[in-house]
Structure 1
Amino acid sequence: MAARIFQRSKNAMQSGKARADEWVLQFESHRPHLPDPLTGWSGGADTQAQVTIRFDTLQAAQAYAAREGIAYHLVPASTPKLKIQSYADNFR
């Protein structure tokens, strides 16, 4: 049973940063996703891949994985790239 630990990104649809600082432990699927012949949607029978656990800190997520014997890999948080421009740049 493998998992990945990552930091949730900011919601792209809103300017707020709610829940952007929490860390998430998400289990990886062991079976491939197969398309449903009737609807065409992809899915699988692996219910463990649907489990998502949220933590306040990275250390809490790592401690939980170590305590439960879960192999994990850490996905580093990406740094936002800011494009600094002024209002006058729209008219150049």
Structure 2
Amino acid sequence: MVARIYRPAKTAMQSGKAKNSWVLDYEQEARRSIEPLMGYTSSSDMKSQLRLSFETREEAIAYAERNGISYRISDAKERRPRPMTYSDNFKYNRTAPWTH
């Protein structure tokens, strides 16, 4: 029963910096199988469905230690957005080729 503590990456639809929560979820213990009649993917591992959110990394670590859960922490790299303006799409000395 090993849990993973990490900060989830932003989706392609998110541009703000408000998503600062940390997540604790369990790694898969049982193998998934395909149900033969309907073709659904299922598993007998109920902990893989559990996902807990915390405000800080320390809260997630404290929860895991308080409940005797072994854990590993995955630190994500912070994204550094490159500032770009609309007029940069039409520059003469563009580094990337024009695709249209």
- Give the match for residue 13 of structure 1: 13
| Separation of aligned partners in 2, 1:66 and 1:8 | 21
Deviation at 1:48, TM superposition (A): 1.1
Could you give the per-residue CA deviations for residues 21-73 of structure 1, whole angstroms, max 9, x where no partner exists?
11111011201111221232322011111111111110111011111111111
| Separation of aligned partners in 1, 2:50 and 2:86 | 45
- Give the match for residue 23 of structure 1: 22
Identify unmatched segments of 5+ residues in structure 1: none
Alignment of 1:1-92 (within 5 A): 1-18=1-18, 20-92=19-91
Question: Looking at CA atoms only, which structure, 1 or 2, has the larger radius of gyration?
Answer: 2
TM-score, length basis structure 1: 0.83
Identify unmatched segments of 5+ residues in structure 2: 92-100
Q: Secondary structure at the match of 2:13?
A: coil
Identity, in percent, stands at: 40
Contact 1:11 1:17 in 2 (8 A): no
Number of aligned positions between the proteins: 91
Question: Cα RMSD over matched residues?
Answer: 1.7
| Separation of aligned partners in 2, 1:48 and 1:61 | 16
